[in-house]
């Protein structure tokens, strides 16, 4: 399985010639969703859900399908009958050879005055977990955690404690589109293997957009 960072919160997973893309939003590359067999969206915020990019991907590949929560599905399903599927916490399904579990229900709190929206995370093939905009603990072991390192709704201490609670073997940064280049070394120093506070033994790395790893 190959994992490629596609900018901000978007990742591309490839296996046996099939392609799965999670959260090709407005902060990721314009072609982030291109060529996908399976599209997953965690919630409706624009940095995770770009309707134009999803429509282009679905139009280009008639066999491609989208799984997401109702708030997103309602905006796009009419144009692609039978190809947009609504999911929620506890669901499990297989798509294009990928086994997917759905975990979580709500977006993290941004501020008490801002209503919380729905948010789901996805475990892919029992190995990789993308939580969307929440620090959801999946309730099952995962080898690789995609960890939202920076957002208006989190702080570093929460990120550290989250990774320590999930206890993956490795963690890769997502949700880093608002960080400048000078910020990345600061985060790497604090989250890295020799860093303080550190992640309690989890291997941590940052992938630059377009960079891939084999899992």
- Summarize pLDDT for 64-85 with one digit per residue, the tens: 999 999 999 999 999 999 999 9
How confident is the model at residue 194, as a pLDDT?
65
How confident is the model at residue 191, as a pLDDT?
84
How confident is the model at residue 185, as a pLDDT?
86
Q: How far apart are CA 89 and CA 164, in angstroms?
A: 22
Average pLDDT along the chain: 95
How confident is the model at residue 196, as a pLDDT?
67
* CA-CA-CA-CA torsion sign (83, 104, 176, 193): negative
97: which strand partners? none
Q: Is 103 left (phi over 0), alpha (psi -120 to 50) or beta?
A: beta
End-to-end CA distance of the chain: 5
- Strands across the sheet with 212-214, in order? 84-86, 65-68, 38-41, 18-22, 11-15, 2-5, 212-214
Q: How far apart are CA 194 and CA 208, in angstroms?
A: 21
Please identify every stretch of the chain with a pLDDT value under 70, giving residue numbers as ranges.
Answer: 193-196
Closest CA relative to residue 120, chosen from 138, 102, 100, 145? 102
How confident is the model at residue 195, as a pLDDT?
63
């Amino acid at each position: 399985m190959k994992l490629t960072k596609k900018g901000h919160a978007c990742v591309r997973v490839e296996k046996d010639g099939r392609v799965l893309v999670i959260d090709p939003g407005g902060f990721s590359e314009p072609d982030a969703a291109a060529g996908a067999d399976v599209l997953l969206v965690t919630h409706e915020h624009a940095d995770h859900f770009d309707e134009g990019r999803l429509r282009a991907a679905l139009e280009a590949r008639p066999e491609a399908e989208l799984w997401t929560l109702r708030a997103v599905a309602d905006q796009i399903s009419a144009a692609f009958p039978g190809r947009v599927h609504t999911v929620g916490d506890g669901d499990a399904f297989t798509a294009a050879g990928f086994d997917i579990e759905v975990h979580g229900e709500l977006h993290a709190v941004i501020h008490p005055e801002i209503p919380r929206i729905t948010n789901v995370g996805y475990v892919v093939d029992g190995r990789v977990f993308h939580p969307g905009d929440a620090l959801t603990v999946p309730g099952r072991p995962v080898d690789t955690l995609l960890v939202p390192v920076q957002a208006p709704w989190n702080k570093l201490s929460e990120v550290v404690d989250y990774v320590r609670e999930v206890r993956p073997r490795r963690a890769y940064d997502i949700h880093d589109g608002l960080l400048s280049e000078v910020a990345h070394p600061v985060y790497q120093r604090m989250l890295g293997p020799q860093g303080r506070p550190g992640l309690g033994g989890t291997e941590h790395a940052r992938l630059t957009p377009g960079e891939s790893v084999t899992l």
